[in-house]
Each structure stands twice: as structure tokens, then as C-alpha cells.
Structure 1
Amino acid sequence: MKLSRAEYKEIVKCTEHLRPTRQCMTILRQRFPNHSQSTLLSIFSLEYQKRTKRTMSRHQAPDSIESYYQRYLNEAKARPSVPVLLELANEVDLSPALMARVIVDRFLQDQEGGVSSKQVLNNMLREPSLIPDQALANHVYQCTINDCCYGPLVDCIKHAIGQEAEVLLRDKLKERNLSFLDENQLRTKGYDKTPDIILEVPIAVEGHIVHWIESKASFGDDHSHRTYLNEQFWSYWNRFGPGLVIYWHGFIGELDSQRDRGILLKDCFPSDIVTLCHGTSPATTDSLTG
């Protein structure tokens, strides 16, 4: 879904005071019923990550950590059946999963008498049953399942969605009998930094030649797209020629401004492509459902 910059800014404004719990999606869906949930969630996630980067140093200050930890201990004792860690995270505007990390890290310091092992900490966050304090384990679990931006559950979901998008892309290419090499095949050939797909025979999309395709299971906003251009897309262009980027969850329409320079943006697999033929006809136009 392509959004105008004005539409995007309207959604961003609505996210400014939302917390990264799953209830926030109900609010966004009600406010923007014509936009897909995946687009809304991707925009909110990107915006909340920006907010977190601006404020995380405050939450990680030693006095803040100690304050959160003591408040958690007192509240958990006074209200054992209430999700007090989740409430605390929402009150101070910190991701529930990140609050859980702060509290478990502080808990382990008490248990171990010093700085906790990062591996032990990560294992406990991934599997709260490993936490020796059952009450804390339950609170961490509540934070994990209610966080839509951070944490091991979100990481798994994002990875699965990314893999699903890449499989969909490969399936679409195979449907049209387009010869290509995927990222894994390219790595076996010695390439260290490659797009998801390199077409062995170039295609044309909306009059633009395409040698490679990159799949992004996210929304393309200004910051992420600029980062991708600088760190990935232009290097692909330098090595392999012009290409196509698919933002499966949509992008700001005004960002599709590099077509003449060789970077084309789409929000789905192209509906009309022109393929080079090896017969007498130099080209043929294929229509497919994307």
C-alpha cells in the first residue's frame, strides 16, 4: 500500500502517545480502517523504535533501574495477581519487553552478586521458566506476549514474516519461469553482500530495466529507506545494475523518486513485466496477478 506523505504523517501523529502493547493496534485499526493491519503495525513499530532510541539512555541510568526494580518488588508483593511489570512499563513509556530485560538483569545481579551473563539473561527472556523466581517469570511472560515492538516473540514473528515474503517472491518468479539466483545461491558463489534475488535474464517493469529484486517485509518510511539506499541499494546498483525494491507493507509514495537512476519501488510483485526472449521476438509482455 502506497501512502502519501500526508497520510503517513497523520498515522504517525496518532501513534505519538500509544504504548507498544497489542491493544494499540485496535486503536489504529479503528482510526484508519482503510489501511491494512500489517502497514499500521509496521509504521507504529518503526516510530516506537525511534522514540525508544531517543529515551533509552534515561531508562538505563543506574538510578532509574534501581527505582524500577524497587517499585516492581513492592508492587509485586502488594498486588501479586496484577501484571505490575507491564503496568510499570506502560507508565514510564518503555517497551514491556525492554522493561523485563532491565528487571531480570537487575534481579540476576542480586542472585549472582555482580554483572549478569548476557547469555543467561537472553536465555531467561526467551524462556521465562528458567527464571528461578516464579512470580518474576510470570511477569516477564506477560510483558513478552503483550509487546508488539520488542522482545523474543516479536523477533521470531518478524523473522517468519521476512522469510514468508522471500518465499512468496521466489514463488512468483517461478510462476513466470523467470531464471534467478537467490541470496543463498549467491553466497555459495562467493558474493558477500547481495540482494535477495538476481535475475539471470533482466526484465522490464513499467519501462525500467530490473536486474535484481530486494524484498522488505516492512513499511518504507524516510529514515529506513534512506538507510537502505546508503547501506544496500546503491551498492547493489553499482555491482549489478538497476533493480526493484518491494516494500510488502507499503511505503511513502514520494520516496519512489529514483526510478531514472535505477531504483524502482513497489508494494507488491509487479502485475506487468516484460521479459527478454531467446527466440525471434525480442520481448513479450506477461501479465500476472500480484
Structure 2
Amino acid sequence: MKNKISLIGVPMDLGQSRRGVDMGPSALRYAGAIEKIESLEYDIHDLGDIAINRPATTVDKESNLKNLEQVIEANETLARMVDEEIQKDRFPLIVGGDHSIAIGSLAGISKHYKNLGVIWYDAHGDLNTSETSPSGNIHGMPLAVSLGIGDERLTNLFGYAPKVKPENIVIIGARSLDPGERELIREKGIKVYTMHEIDRMGMSAVMEEAIHYLKENTDGVHLSLDLDGLDPTEAPGVGTPVLGGMTYRESHLAMEMLSDSELITSFEVVEVNPILDEKNKTATLAVGLMGSLFGEKLK
């Protein structure tokens, strides 16, 4: 992992309907994200937050997608910033914001790799399209968009598509998949470890398999960490909580194993919603997981 890190805040809540996740970057900073990473002897540069245009909620007449133009604008800005930081040989750390920001993250990152791998640590697959989405919320679509599936204005963001191949994706922690997402997973052969596999195999075996799988096929790996991947009893401050999720300890183990693997070349943390949180508990938990990914050890 590169010693130089650039933190980019994306205070966007336009990819979904519950307000508050736009305060995620501030909550993570308040919980000590910068200090944690500095304590591990990284050179971290906080680039601040992208300015987000926040009009009243709009619905695109053609696609039925909510806030489409604003989501595109923010993600284009993010893609440019991520691209510029990678060109400077810096590690992108993106903090959100809802999960629609992964569209911009992957657009800026993937152009630098021939076979970018993606670990999607999440309760959801985020593989919906305007046709399969029950809500029209774009935060349920970023992985499909990055595969080149969905509205062309999103899939072609930053001038190319697709950003990632289905065989280079590993979803970890899934427990809430819509019918259209399940069909797409089967059709594309995407590797998914649901909570069933995690309970049956154990997190250590799941991560060993995932790391081996990605090490064989990829030249870089982006980690997209959605805090709703964890159980809401441990991470209550998320917009779309789903019971039966991964524990704090399992998640630390996963981050520690990824740190040891030296596979991760970019990282984003999303869906921290301080309005729904308890004394910034979820952001503090997220900062602890950041520490483990960046090499923090007990001995």
C-alpha cells in the first residue's frame, strides 16, 4: 500500500431518500480518521469535500432515476480528482456519502488498471438498474453501472465503459438482494459470499478464498466498504440497515487480512449517517476498520 494517501470527502445523499448521509465525511473526520492514519506513519493529505448541488429531489422522466443530473455531476468531479491523485502516485481514500459515489470512484480508478478487482463489502449487491430497482435510488446501482449495465449517462461516465469485469468482483456480506440482482449475479457469474457462507465457513476462510481469487486475476483491488455490511446492533448509523450482518470483530479480521495481503490499491467508506447514529458510534467503528486496513496491529 502506498505511503501517500489522499482523502476525498463526498458529502452526497442524493443517491437515496433518507437525509443525513451527506454528513458522513464530517462524522468520520470528527471520529479521528486523519489522526488514526497519521499515527500509522502515512503521509495523508485531506483534500476536503467536493461541493454538492442540492436541489429539491428530481425524478428523470426518461429513466425514473432520482437526482440523476446531480449524481452525474458529483461523480464526474470525483472521478477527475481520483484520477489526478493516482497520477501523483497517491492512494485514494474516498469517504461518503451514499454508495452512488462508487460510480465516480471506479471511473477515476479503473482507467489505471487492465484488470481492476473490486471487493464490495456490503449487505446489498447494488446491482439494480432503472428496470429492476424498486425505488429509483441510484445508490442501489453503482456496481451494475460499473459493469456497464444501466443508464448510458451513468455507465459511460468519464468516457468509457465498463469499469470492471464481473469475474473480478467479490461481494462479501450480502443478505438483501432484489430478484433482478440475483438474476444478474447468476448470469454474470459474480462471486458472492452471503452471510450464509460467512456463518458456515467463517470469515477467515471467506477472506482467504477471496484474496486468492483476486490475486490470481487482478492488477489492483478497490475496496468499497458500506457500513451497512455490519450488523445494525454494532453499526446503527446507516440508512438501509439489515439485521444479521457481520460483526465488528469479523470486519476487523477481514481488514487485517486484506492489509496483510497487500492487494488493496484504493479504498472508500460509505453510508455513515450520523443522524441515525448513537454518539457517532458508527463513524468511530469505521475509523477503527480503517486502522486495521492500513496496518494497525495489537503487537
- TM-score, length-scaled by structure 1: 0.25
* Structure whose residues are more often helix by fraction: 1
Higher RCO (CA 8 Å, separation ≥ 6 residues): 2
Which protein shows a greater Rg? 1
- TM-score, length-scaled by structure 2: 0.24
